[in-house]
Amino acid sequence: MLEIKNLDVWLAKKPILESVSFAAAPGRISAVIGPNGAGKSTLIKSVMNLVKIRRGQILWHNRDLTGFSRKALAKTVAYLPQNSHPVPSKVYDSVLLGRKPHLSFRPGQDDRRMVDEIIEDLNLGDLKDSCVTKISGGEFQKSLIARLLVQNVPVMLLDEPINHLDVKNQLEIMELVQGLTVSRKLVSVIVLHDLNFAMGYADELLLLKNGKIVFSGPPEKLSVEKLKMAYQVDLKIVPIDGKLKVIF
């Protein structure tokens, strides 16, 4: 269980997160949603020790993650930031870097087998010998997600992982993440801007506005009023083909 307790984060002497508490369980996807500036990315960075917390706790099975070494944290949590810049290398080698926290010297047969499987699952086989600087933005994003998946850790943090992809690839990535979350019993926390992907794939939603929690719970419990208040737009939540959809 990943637990955030009474988290406060201040940046440049301004509160970014205030008294944020939530728990993310294995085998379930928690989607963090909210308007720009709500504190979504800061929350993810807090778990990765990339920003200093003012107050609160970040716990993994009751162990304080802020006390983990970089290597120990990399063996526990995989993180995909919003923006990454390609460094010239083959797609295969770039994905293989995800195994680094587990290596004592060189990659072994099991490491390469895992890379092969994830590359196949993400339909990157035809690109594995291509340079990451020569492929499309969407293909590069998929290679980054592949690198994260081969890290093979119990917690995945993804900050807007599907923003640069077309609809087909967005669906492919979300289906893959959902499948792996269940099969590997991962704790998956994903920042999403698309409310319908959040409603459709998340088991739990965390709705933030101005650094505070507006709602925390399953999608079917989220009220229209709270969503309107957070985003300041007129919208509806309607069932379509058995799934909840947000319509503006």
Give one word for 107, left, alpha or beta, with left for phi > 0 and alpha for psi -120 to 50. Answer: beta
pLDDT value of position 129 = 96
Are the beta carbons of 200 and 192 closer than 8 angstroms? Answer: no
C-alpha span between 108 and 121 (Å, rounded): 20
What are the structure tokens assigned to 60, written together?
């993994």
Give one word for 37, left, alpha or beta, with left for phi > 0 and alpha for psi -120 to 50. Answer: left
Name residue 191's beta-bridge partners.
32, 159
Q: Which of 204, 227, 177, 197 is nearest to 22 (CA)?
A: 204
C-alpha span between 170 and 168 (Å, rounded): 5
pLDDT value of position 125 = 95
Q: How many other C-beta atoms are found inside a 10 Å radius of the C-beta of residue 89?
A: 15
DSSP H helices, the chain, are 40-47, 70-74, 91-96, 109-121, 137-150, 167-183, 195-201, 224-231
90 φ, ψ (degrees, to nearest 5): -70, 150
For the chain (248 residues), the mean pLDDT of every run of 10, in chain order, is 96 94 97 96 95 95 92 94 89 95 88 94 93 91 91 94 86 88 94 95 97 96 96 93 89
Strand, helix or coil at 196?
A: helix
What are the structure tokens assigned to 25, written together?
């369980």
* Cα 120–Cα 139–Cα 36 angle in degrees, nearest 5: 120
pLDDT value of position 76 = 95
What are the structure tokens assigned to 16, written together?
């970014």
Sheet with 55-60, edge to edge strand ranges: 14-24, 2-11, 55-60, 63-64
pLDDT value of position 40 = 97
- Residue-by-residue DSSP string for 164-191: TS-HHHHHHHHHHHHHHHHHTT-EEEEE
C-alpha span between 34 and 144 (Å, rounded): 24
Are the beta carbons of 226 and 215 closer than 8 angstroms? Answer: yes
pLDDT value of position 57 = 95
pLDDT value of position 104 = 79
Domains of the chain (ranges, CATH numbers): 1-76+154-173+181-223 (3.40.50.300), 87-152 (no CATH)
pLDDT value of position 88 = 92
What are the structure tokens assigned to 216, written together?
């925390």
Strand, helix or coil at 76?
A: coil
pTM of the predicted structure, to 2 decimals? 0.91
